[in-house]
């Protein structure tokens, strides 16, 4: 079996048997099995389902980390494939099957060539989609048990031309903070609003007022998003509710903006509720750290990308992406770089990530594997 066929076999197996956050039991076991076949030293159950595989060549003291995410999404796959998900309501709609395969491929290349001097640690992380897997691995002393000097990761992008690589130094993906606003008013008959305190009207004021934060409180040179995405009440058609709950999230790139968003949102919500005589419970949680690339590691990734795909297919100053990635938690502790690998299928409709029709483009598996292997060769000479 040639290298590309092996990559496709791995990817199709992983796609067929998806498992969601912290439930990647068979996924982790399969990855560990394939890594052991390559002769790597494998450690399992790191921070739950996490897997770390070590490959040491020569006497070099430096260590490089290469990371893949393992979890699938709670979506029902609708595309007809020979390797379609057999788990009802679960599928790899974000390409983590391809990410795992790419890192397995890099392990295969490096374990065969042994073209470096030092240690590579292949890190397979669970629960990326909910932003908890990296933290769980670090809480289980990932970097104390398996020290590394730099860490690298990638995410496929179906909207970018296949085989292209994009990145940038500094912030590349946003934080995600979640919020819940609970408004307690006083219910009444819909015909007698004067006898109650209408939390729906208050909620409407709050939703609109929150949009002024980005427009009037955040420095225009910074970037932020405030999105209210759910609203729930305990009312019925002819009754004004007593309680309304608003949920949503915010996105930004720096701790300072995160703190500003939380502070202003709390003040607005509590202030509007107080004006109307209602009670307010405001909850704000930090879920995903921003993904901030270290400059030197980014330069390394750019040069490796140029070697693999050619200078004309590398964008070294791409736009920042407002979605979030659990890899950012690793970058708070270890310098590294995260890149985007284009996977658009030519002359076909772009199917976005987190779509029930999504499938990874097998043609970019070799590119990703070669890119990671080239980073290791450069950094462990």
In terms of C-beta distances under 8 Å and separation of at least 24 residues, what long-range contacts does 347-351 make, across chains too? 350/158, 350/159, 351/158
Strands, E assignment, 206-278: 224-233, 239-240, 243-252
Per the annotation, the verdict on 234 as an active-site residue is no
Cα–Cα distances in Å, from 279 out to 168, 184, 193, 234?
45, 5, 18, 16
- Of 24, 34, 69, 71, the catalytic one is 71
Per the annotation, the verdict on 97 as an active-site residue is no
- Of 19, 97, 128, 129, the catalytic one is 128
In the three-class reduction of DSSP (H, G, I as helix; E, B as strand; rest coil), residue 13 is classed as helix
H or E element in which residue 377 lies? helix 365-379
And the tokens for 71? 């979890």
Cα–Cα distances in Å, from 362 out to 37, 100, 227?
22, 12, 35
The torsion of the CA quartet 150, 323, 181, 71, rounded to 10 degrees, works out to: -70
The single-letter DSSP state of residue 170 is: E
Residues taking part in catalysis = 71, 128
């Amino acid at each position: 079996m040639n290298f590309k066929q092996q990559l496709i076999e791995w990817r199709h197996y992983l796609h067929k048997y998806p498992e969601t956050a912290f439930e990647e039991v068979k996924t982790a076991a399969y990855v560990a099995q394939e890594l052991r076949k390559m002769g790597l030293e494998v450690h399992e159950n790191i921070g739950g389902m996490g897997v770390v595989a070590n490959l040491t060549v020569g006497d070099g003291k430096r260590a490089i980390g290469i990371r893949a995410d393992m979890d699938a999404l709670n979506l029902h796959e609708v595309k007809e494939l020979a390797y379609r998900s057999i788990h009802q309501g679960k599928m790899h709609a974000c390409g983590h099957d391809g990410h795992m395969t790419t890192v397995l491929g890099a392990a295969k290349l490096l374990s065969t060539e042994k073209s470096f001097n030092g240690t590579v640690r292949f890190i397979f992380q669970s629960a990326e989609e909910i932003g908890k897997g990296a933290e769980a691995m670090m809480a289980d002393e990932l970097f104390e048990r398996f020290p590394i000097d730099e860490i690298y990761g990638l995410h496929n992008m179906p909207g970018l031309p296949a085989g292209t690589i994009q990145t940038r130094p500094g912030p590349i993906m946003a934080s995600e903070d979640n919020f819940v606003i609970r408004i307690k008013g006083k219910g009444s008959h819909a015909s007698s609003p004067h006898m109650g305190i209408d939390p729906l009207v208050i909620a409407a004021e709050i939703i609109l007022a929150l949009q002024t934060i980005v427009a009037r409180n955040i420095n225009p040179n910074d970037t932020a998003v405030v999105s209210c995405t759910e609203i729930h009440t305990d009312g019925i058609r002819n009754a004004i509710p007593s309680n309304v709950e608003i949920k949503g999230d915010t996105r930004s790139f720096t701790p300072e903006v995160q703190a500003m968003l939380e502070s202003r949102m709390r003040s607005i919500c509590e202030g509007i509720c107080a004006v109307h005589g209602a009670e307010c419970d405001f909850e704000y949680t930090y879920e995903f750290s921003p993904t901030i690339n270290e400059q030197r590691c980014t330069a390394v990734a750019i040069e490796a990308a140029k070697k693999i795909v050619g200078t004309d297919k590398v964008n070294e100053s791409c736009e920042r992406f407002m979605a979030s990635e659990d890899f950012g938690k690793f970058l708070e502790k270890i310098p590294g770089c995260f890149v985007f690998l284009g996977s658009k299928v030519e002359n076909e409709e772009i199917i976005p990530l987190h779509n029930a029709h999504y499938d990874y483009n097998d043609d970019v598996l070799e590119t990703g594997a070669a890119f990671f292997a080239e980073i290791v060769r450069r950094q462990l000479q």
